[in-house]
């Protein structure tokens, strides 16, 4: 039988690369696409020798051409950390608008099923807690996070429109904070920031008073949820995340314990529009996908720390891993 063919955009990124691994393991033919602004070839280079894997260095904000049939498209291309989308706001808006339009157009031409990566950021600084899929959110369109939040909201609207008006098979996953190996050490997100600081012997930087909360999901759990959603027949958005909520102050203390550092916590200004609380309500994922996270934060953090500890020493001191310069127009 012919292998199923899947296109993964953002394939060299943190989540994209884990998706490539999963679909290769499930014996798909994986077509990986990335423009390598924030993604890194290192995340997928182990797949290059495989016959069932091909890579296109392409920016999906431009017309996408993929020869042959496609059964599935996973749209994961986008800067995703606050630091990244502050540095490249226009590209963030373009990939969420032009990029999704190209993906949906390609899906229509190929009669493929599309799954798009949305985010808990569509809920903004939420006034409903925990967040259910029915909540419409509290987003400041012109604040610093607006470029990401509104791009993702537009992406959901466009995807539903293709579903409703063109009958395209679509799936929408709203991803909550996820962590694990292959996060970029210097992408500004809290977990690599804290672990990097601990490994370099620097103070741990908590923004604000640390009372804001997040709920962290280990990457393997998230990937399993996404695969189940792709194969389900549910077209509306589904939250995937781990409801185990923790304040950033307590999280800093967990990282200090995990890494055995004796660094102190220092407090910095809270970024504008930083959500005060975040926890997914995962009732839908439980009932529709029979999914819930299995990996505890303490186990997931150990696995992640192991990864960061084994990185070559010079990685620890690199300021950036991005290729922004060549893309900023």
Q: Which positions are catalytic?
A: 148
Q: Which is nearer to ligand UDP, 170 or 261 (CB)?
A: 261
Asked if 271 is part of the footprint of ligand UDP (rule: CB under 6 A), the reply reads yes
Binding mask 112-131 for ligand UDP (x = CB under 6 A): --------------------
Cα–Cα distances (Å) from 265 to 75, 149, 177, 250, 298, in that order, read 37, 30, 22, 11, 20
Helix H or strand E segment including 86: helix 82-87
Asked if 267 is part of the footprint of ligand UDP (rule: CB under 6 A), the reply reads no
Asked if 177 is part of the footprint of ligand UDP (rule: CB under 6 A), the reply reads yes
Pull the structure tokens for residue 69. 């049939």
Pull the structure tokens for residue 4. 């199923």
**The one among 31, 190, 199, 238 contacting ligand UDP by CB under 6 A:** 190
Asked if 207 is part of the footprint of ligand UDP (rule: CB under 6 A), the reply reads yes
Give the binding-site size for ligand UDP (rule: CB under 6 A).
Answer: 15
Question: Per the omega criterion (within 30 degrees of 0), is the bond before 43 cis?
Answer: no
Q: Which is nearer to ligand UDP, 40 or 214 (CB)?
A: 214
**Closest distance between ligand UDP and the C-beta of residue 204, in Å?**
8
Q: Which is nearer to ligand UDP, 54 or 203 (CB)?
A: 203
Asked if 193 is part of the footprint of ligand UDP (rule: CB under 6 A), the reply reads yes
Asked if 292 is part of the footprint of ligand UDP (rule: CB under 6 A), the reply reads no
**Closest distance between ligand UDP and the C-beta of residue 46, in Å?**
27
Asked if 206 is part of the footprint of ligand UDP (rule: CB under 6 A), the reply reads yes
Asked if 215 is part of the footprint of ligand UDP (rule: CB under 6 A), the reply reads no
Q: How many CA atoms lie within 13 A of 103 on its CB side?
A: 37
Asked if 274 is part of the footprint of ligand UDP (rule: CB under 6 A), the reply reads yes
Helix H or strand E segment including 99: none
Three-class SS of residue 222? helix
**The one among 18, 174, 214, 228 contacting ligand UDP by CB under 6 A:** 214
Q: Could you tell me how far CA 46 lies from the centroid of its own chain? A: 21
Burial (CB count within 10 angstroms: exposed 0-12, middle 13-18, buried 19+), residue 155: buried
**The one among 91, 170, 212, 242 contacting ligand UDP by CB under 6 A:** 212
**The one among 10, 79, 82, 126 contacting ligand UDP by CB under 6 A:** 82
**Closest distance between ligand UDP and the C-beta of residue 19, in Å?**
20
CB atoms within 10 A of CB 312: 7
Contact criterion met (CB below 8 Å) for 223 and 261:
no
Pull the structure tokens for residue 273. 């529009």
Q: Which of 131, 142, 6, 29 is nearest to 76 (CA)?
A: 6
Q: Which is nearer to ligand UDP, 154 or 207 (CB)?
A: 207
Helix H or strand E segment including 53: strand 53-57
**Closest distance between ligand UDP and the C-beta of residue 208, in Å?**
6
Residues in the chain: 329
Give the footprint of ligand UDP on this chain (CB under 6 A).
Answer: 81-82, 177, 188-190, 193, 205-207, 212, 214, 248, 271, 274
């Amino acid at each position: 039988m012919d292998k199923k063919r899947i296109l993964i955009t953002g394939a060299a990124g943190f989540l994209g690369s884990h998706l490539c691994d999963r679909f290769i393991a499930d014996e798909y033919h994986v077509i990986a696409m990335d423009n390598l602004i924030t993604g890194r070839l290192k995340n997928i280079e182990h797949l290059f020798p495989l016959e069932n894997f091909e890579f296109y260095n392409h920016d999906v904000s431009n017309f996408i051409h993929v020869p042959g049939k496609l059964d599935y498209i996973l749209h994961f291309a986008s800067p995703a950390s606050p630091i990244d989308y502050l540095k490249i706001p226009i590209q963030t808006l373009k990939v969420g608008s032009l990029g999704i339009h190209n993906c949906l157009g390609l899906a229509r031409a190929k009669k493929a099923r599309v799954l798009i990566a949305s985010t808990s950021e569509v809920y903004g600084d939420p006034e409903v807690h925990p967040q259910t899929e029915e909540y419409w959110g509290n987003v400041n369109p012109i604040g610093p996070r607006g470029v990401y939040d509104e791009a993702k909201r537009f992406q959901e609207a466009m995807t539903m429109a293709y579903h409703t008006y063109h009958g395209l098979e679509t799936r929408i996953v709203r991803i909550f904070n996820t962590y694990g190996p292959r996060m970029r050490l210097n992408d500004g997100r809290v977990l690599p920031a804290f672990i990097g600081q601990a490994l370099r012997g620097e103070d741990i930087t908590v923004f604000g008073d640390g009372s804001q909360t997040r709920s962290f999901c280990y990457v393997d759990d998230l990937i399993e949820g996404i695969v189940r959603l792709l194969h389900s027949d549910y077209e509306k958005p589904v939250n995937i995340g781990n409801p185990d909520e923790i304040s950033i102050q307590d999280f800093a203390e967990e990282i200090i314990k995990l890494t055995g550092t004796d660094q102190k916590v220092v407090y910095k200004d809270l970024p504008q529009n930083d959500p005060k609380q975040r926890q997914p309500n995962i009732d839908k994922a439980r009932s529709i996908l029979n999914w819930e996270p299995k990996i505890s934060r303490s186990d997931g953090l150990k696995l992640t720390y192991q990864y960061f500890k084994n990185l070559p020493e010079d990685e620890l001191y690199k300021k950036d891993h991005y290729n922004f310069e060549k893309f900023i127009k």
